[in-house]
Amino acid sequence: MKKALLILFFATTASIVYAQGEISLYVSTQNGKYTFYDGSQSKTTDKHEQGTVNLSHTGPIVVDVSPADISIGPNQTKNWQGKVYPDINNAPIPGTSANAEVIANYDVTFSRAQGAGAGGTVQSTYNCNGGGCHIHGDQNGVHEIVSKTGSQKLEFKVYSVKTSAPENFTSCLDREFTIYAEAYPYGGSFKWTAGENITLTNGNNNQTVQFKSTALGNSTLTVEYTIQGVSYKHTVAVNCIKPVVTFNVPDEITAAVGKQFTINPTITPSGGQVSWEVSSGLQLNSGPYNFVAFVTPKQPGDQTVTCTIKACGETIVKIIKVKVNPCMVTVPDSVKVLKGTSATITASGNMQGSFSWAAGNNVQIEGAANQQAVTIKGVTAGEGWAEVEFTGTDCSDKKKVRVIVLEKPTLKIDIAYAPMATMCLKERRILTARVEPQGGTFSWTLSSASLKFYGPAGNIPTTVVEADKGGPCTVTCTYTVNGETVTETITTDVKAYSKVELTTSNAATEIAKGTKVTYTAKVYDHNGQAVNNPPALHWKVVYIPIGQQDNVSNWVSYDLQGTVSSQDYTWSFPQGNFPLQGKPPYKMAAWIQASEHCTYHSGSVHIKVVSQNGQN
């Protein structure tokens, strides 16, 4: 990319020549290739012209200018070569980008006809009556010797090129497959290269490639993405196999009359034709060519479901045996009970019948064991079981329930929305007590007035607290069940600051442009005491041109980086769409402030910024 890059010194002014807008640079961390931005410039000065440019930069770029000294004196001719390119050692992560800029600070002196231009500081004048000043646009009249300083920037964006696709891909014979490649940034070209036993079917220069495998085994597909001559490669490992089919059920299953079940195949590689057949005692509720089978038993006995899959030139037949039991009993998967206490488990059957219960390990049955609902007791802490047998007409079914016997009740408080270690005034938190076993009573208490309950806080598992005053506070939940009591406590510190003060390293009310000042914020708590560990602060600077106090649209404001209690700031003199009144040196009202987010107190320092040498 060939462009003028350097600061130029013209006979009537000082300017920078650069491309309009952001300049794109591309880099590949994979192979070290990159694009660059370069240029050359020649300058010849007259007896009034001289100047110096100092270059700096930010972001992952390298700036080379030869000769490195960008200065020129009166009546001289000089040539410069310049080049900007990505810093490969600090390039962005592939697939991302980063901003960068070249900053040129210039200090130049030149001559111009009086009134022929603006900007800069007039150092002296001379008279051209009698001619000889044609190079300045006016052979006669008064001319000015002008000095001017300033800064210009070239903005860049460094793109770290990347392409990606699946790391691994499974194919099979007699099928066409598609792989899609992602690329960053957009706008480049693709090239696919196939390994052995792979044939590309849609060419090799598309973002999406279609291919067929011609033999079983391992191979590769490589995609290369190129933008502005910078490329990145990614290789996909392709494994061509015979199709493999698995099912969501075992080879033999048990089902009940009238109770629908589902069979779902998984084909690797995906795709293929599926068909279903069922024996006479089963009903296929889905279509015979539906991928998933929904089956309902109609008659007890031994039945079968046959699945036929055609994929990759192969035919696979799977027969699943179904033992249809007319009886079915349902119970919970598990229950929890406190040691030494009782709980009830209820079973249900799908027809008229009888129930018989048994228990073991840490569990015993209390009362009748031949009812639909049984009472169990936790004897010792640990895991046990309860089992029910349901007997209907010429059939039976058994189910086992996992019983967890707890040594003590468990209690944990869940906090909704945000952590609770610190809170700001008026913030709320929803607290929910998670307990085992259920069925007990709750009690909520607060240790101080820093928090208050927002709504009910009695015998309920969920309550809401609100930060009301500054200071620490604990929330305690007490849970009692079957004579056993447990508690859980949460501690918070409510932040309620009373004020923020700023101190300054420069107490002057008028500060020259370019002056760096250190500002330190001191935050006071609700008791009026200075905080040793102040909260995160939001720093902001506001400029108000003189005479524009009521015209907010002409104010200029900046959010400063950093949230600590001390901030260094160099006062500038920003440009804007506003008139500067009076004669130079100009002045502009300004202030800097630091705010904390809990109670929104802020401290500020108000000054006037003064331009230097009458420049704005």
Per-residue model confidence (pLDDT) at position 131: 61
Task: Reply yes or no: is the peptide bond before residue 269 cis, omega within 30 of 0.
Answer: yes
Confidence of residue 610 (pLDDT cuts 50, 70, 90): confident
Tokens of 73: 């004196």
Cα(first)–Cα(last) distance of the chain, in Å? 35
Backbone φ, ψ for residue 161 (5° rounding): -70, 145
Pairing, β 471-481 against β 484-495: antiparallel
Confidence of residue 73 (pLDDT cuts 50, 70, 90): very high
Per-residue model confidence (pLDDT) at position 163: 96
Tokens of 208: 């999406």
Per-residue model confidence (pLDDT) at position 14: 35
Confidence of residue 365 (pLDDT cuts 50, 70, 90): very high
Confidence of residue 17 (pLDDT cuts 50, 70, 90): very low
Q: Which of 500, 492, 510 is nearest to 608 (CA)?
A: 510
In this model, does residue 18 exceed pLDDT 60? no
What's the pLDDT tens digit per position in 519-544? 999 999 888 899 888 888 999 999 98
CB 433 within 8 A of CB 606: no
Per-residue model confidence (pLDDT) at position 4: 38
Backbone φ, ψ for residue 554 (5° rounding): -95, 5
Per-residue model confidence (pLDDT) at position 16: 38
pLDDT over 70, % of the chain: 92
What's the pLDDT tens digit per position in 115-161? 777 788 888 888 876 665 655 556 667 888 899 999 899 999 999 99
Pairing, β 484-495 against β 422-424: parallel
pTM of this prediction exceeds 0.75: no
pLDDT over 90, % of the chain: 64
Per-residue model confidence (pLDDT) at position 2: 36
CA atoms within 13 A on the CB side of 131: 0
CB 481 within 8 A of CB 406: no
Q: Which of 149, 150, 128, 123 is nearest to 138 (CA)?
A: 128
What's the pLDDT tens digit per position in 479-531? 999 889 999 999 999 988 889 999 999 999 999 888 999 999 999 988 889 98
Pairwise CA distance, residues 491 & 423, whole Å: 11
Pairwise CA distance, residues 481 & 487, whole Å: 12
Confidence of residue 599 (pLDDT cuts 50, 70, 90): confident
Q: What does the DSSP assignment read for 157-222?
A: EEEE-EEE--SEEEE-BT-EEEEE-EEESSS-EEEEEE-TTEEESS-SSSSEEEEEE-SSEEEEEE
Pairing, β 77-86 against β 37-44: antiparallel
Average pLDDT over residues 71-92: 94
In this model, does residue 411 exceed pLDDT 80? yes
Query: Cβ contacts of residue 593 below 8 Å, gap of 6+?
Result: 502, 539, 540, 542, 602, 603, 604, 605
Confidence of residue 46 (pLDDT cuts 50, 70, 90): confident
Q: Three-state SS for 554?
A: helix
Per-residue model confidence (pLDDT) at position 140: 63
Pairwise CA distance, residues 14 & 104, whole Å: 12
Task: Reply yes or no: is the peptide bond before residue 60 cis, omega within 30 of 0.
Answer: no
Average pLDDT over residues 48-71: 93
Pairwise CA distance, residues 276 & 309, whole Å: 9
Backbone φ, ψ for residue 90 (5° rounding): -125, 25
CB 363 within 8 A of CB 403: yes
If you average pLDDT over every residue of the chain, what do you get?
88
Pairwise CA distance, residues 498 & 600, whole Å: 10
Query: Cβ contacts of residue 390 below 8 Å, gap of 6+?
Result: 327, 328, 329, 347, 349, 353, 354, 355, 396, 397, 398, 399
Confidence of residue 58 (pLDDT cuts 50, 70, 90): very high
Query: In the 8-state DSSP scheme, what is residue 425?
Result: T
Q: Three-state SS for 465?
A: strand
Per-residue model confidence (pLDDT) at position 526: 84
Query: Cβ contacts of residue 600 below 8 Å, gap of 6+?
Result: none
In this model, does residue 615 exceed pLDDT 90? no
CB 531 within 8 A of CB 554: no
In this model, does residue 11 exceed pLDDT 50? no
Per-residue model confidence (pLDDT) at position 462: 96
Question: What's the 3-state SS for 396-445?
Answer: EEEEEEEEEEECCCEEEEEEECCCCCEEECCCEEEEEEEEECCCCEEEEE
Pairing, β 334-338 against β 395-406: parallel
What's the pLDDT tens digit per position in 539-594? 999 998 877 888 887 888 888 888 899 999 999 887 666 666 666 777 889 999 99
Backbone φ, ψ for residue 134 (5° rounding): -65, -25
Task: Reply yes or no: is the peptide bond before residue 67 cis, omega within 30 of 0.
Answer: yes
Query: Cβ contacts of residue 306 below 8 Å, gap of 6+?
Result: 276, 277, 278, 317, 318, 319, 320
Tokens of 392: 């209907």
What's the pLDDT tens digit per position in 273-324? 999 999 999 999 999 999 999 999 988 889 999 999 999 889 999 999 998 8
CB 353 within 8 A of CB 310: no
Sign for the CA dihedral angle at 604, 608, 613, 616 comes to positive
